[in-house]
Amino acid sequence: MVNRGIRGATTVTKNEETEILSETVVLLREIVERNDVIAEDICSVWITMTADLDATFPARAIREIEGWEMVPLMCSVEIPVKGSLPQCIRLMVQVNTDKSQRDIRHVYLNEAQRLRPDLSQGK
């Protein structure tokens, strides 16, 4: 097994706790489903949000998923680059896997599909 990074990003429409938590779970579940991984195989999850999102910590949503209580999580603010995509949540899921780099399925949802259109064309 090797350690691979699985990228994902999504956006919200409002800086509200409920939407941030909900979209974080949707994104994580999609990453897990597309890559057929389980929490036990996850080394850690790095979570960033753009500075315009400060209503809650998105890690709270992941910690509440059954089986994910012990997965190491870290939240941070995304680098504030002028003109970058607003209201964006990004995940870097580090997983132990036998999959090759090419077999990893990155996930971009909502407006975040604009970040990597080459990776957003299907499941």
C-alpha 11/C-alpha 19 separation (Å) is: 10
- Of 103, 123, 120, 122, whose CA–CA distance to 111 is shortest? 120
Q: Is residue 96 included in any domain, yes or no? A: yes
Residue 9 resides in a domain: yes
Among 34, 60, 105, 116, the one annotated catalytic: 116
The predicted structure's pLDDT at residue 122: 52
- The answer to whether 34 is a known catalytic residue is no
The domain of 89 spans 2-116
23 is a catalytic site residue: no
Per the domain annotation, does 32 fall within a domain? yes
- 106 contact partners, CB below 8 Å, separation of at least 6: 6, 7, 8, 31, 116, 119
pTM for the complete prediction?
Answer: 0.93
pLDDT interval class at 121 (50, 70, 90): low
63: CATH? 3.30.1330.40
pLDDT at 18 exceeding the cut of 90: yes
| Sign of the alpha-carbon dihedral angle for 112, 92, 81, 20 | positive
- 60 is an active site residue: no
pLDDT digits (tens, 9 = 90+) for 65-108: 999 999 999 999 999 999 999 999 999 999 999 999 999 999 99
Number of structural domains (the chain) is: 1
Q: Is 57 within a domain? A: yes
Write the pLDDT tens digit of every residue in 49-70.
999 999 999 999 999 999 999 9
Alpha-carbon distance of 12 to 105, in angstroms, equals 22
Please pick, among 4, 7, 19, 23, the residue that the annotation labels catalytic.
7
Residue 7 belongs to some domain of the structure: yes
- Residue 119's pLDDT band, with cuts at 50, 70 and 90, is confident
